[in-house]
Amino acid sequence: MLSPDRVPDLEPLARAGDDYAVVRRAIAHIRGNWQAQPEIEIIAEAAGVTATELHHLFRRWAGITPKAFLQALTLDHARRLLRSSASVLDASFEVGLSGPGRLHDLFVTHEAMSPGEWKTGGAGLTVSYGFHPSPFGTALVMATERGLAGLAFADAGEERAALADMRGRWPQASIVENAARTAPLARRIFDTRLWRADRPLRVVLIGTDFEVRVWETLLTIPLGRATTYSDIAAKIRAPKAARAVGAAVGKNPISFVVPCHRVLGKSGDITGYHWGLTRKRAMLGWEAGRVAS
């Protein structure tokens, strides 16, 4: 069954998912009109709700006002994120990436599959999956016995396509539906009250050595910060490999947790995202609310 679970523990996430449907429409209007800094009444009309409803929705969903959310999606804001990120990323990278520790805001620990395991296409690997509500639409959560292995997103009607996309990454693995197993992971990922240093979220990175190095670097980008493809290339000591870095970022199998949405163009442009630019904008705005609060 390809519908989000509606078990009691996930009800707050289900509500956030319902909010996201309105947020998508608001973002679509903001995206086309941000330079004019439209008033909330205009954005609300485009989103199909009243100004009061939109104000309360953003407060509930992102923790900030619609105006603050609008500002978080402007080019100037993105440029400020990039300017303030260089020293932060340098410092976190110098700390090192091996072993457990606070790699970013979800308190993630990680390990990588061996090159041999990756080359077999996941042969002998069992991956459980489940669809769950999230603040960014339906989330496809995938896990092995070693930890979270995949996180994808889908709008209504796109669930099968998202699953096929993720299946293709490990063609020889056994992919089995087990929403009961993945539901606790969905709560850990999207409920900020469960982001705890004493209970880190374990993820397993399945890719080439180069891809894993890129994904590990993504884990050093703090909440409310951003970086560029060329900066990542420099961090992994491959300064001429910005294009290859971009390809690796695009193949990141654990969206949001491994925060590829925090990678921007050199000028601060919100560039490509495998699960859609609207969702990337929503994630950046949502995180702006987390930082503000």
Question: Annotated catalytic sites, by residue?
Answer: 260
DSSP state of 37: -
Count CB-CB contacts under 10 A for residue 34.
15
Three-class secondary structure of residue 151 per DSSP? strand
Q: Please give the C-alpha separations between residue 98 and each of 34, 107, 236, 257, in angstroms, as whole numbers.
A: 41, 14, 14, 17
Q: What is the DSSP string of 173-226?
A: SEEEE-HHHHHHHHHHHH-GGG--TTSPEEEEE-S-HHHHHHHHHHTTS-TT--
| 130 sits in which H/E element | strand 126-132
Three-class secondary structure of residue 28 per DSSP? helix
The residue type found at 282 is: A
Neighbour-count burial for 240-271, b at 16+ CB within 10 Å, e otherwise = ebbebbbebbeebbbbbbbbbbbbbeeebebb
Q: Give pairs for 157-166: CB < 8 Å, separation 24+.
A: 159/2, 159/3, 159/131, 160/2, 163/2, 163/129, 166/129, 166/140, 166/142, 166/253
> What is the Rg, in whole angstroms, of the alpha carbon atoms belonging to the chain?
19
Contact by Cβ (8 Å): 162, 153: yes
Q: Please give the C-alpha separations between residue 55 and each of 18, 59, 211, 219, in angstroms, as whole numbers.
A: 15, 6, 40, 32
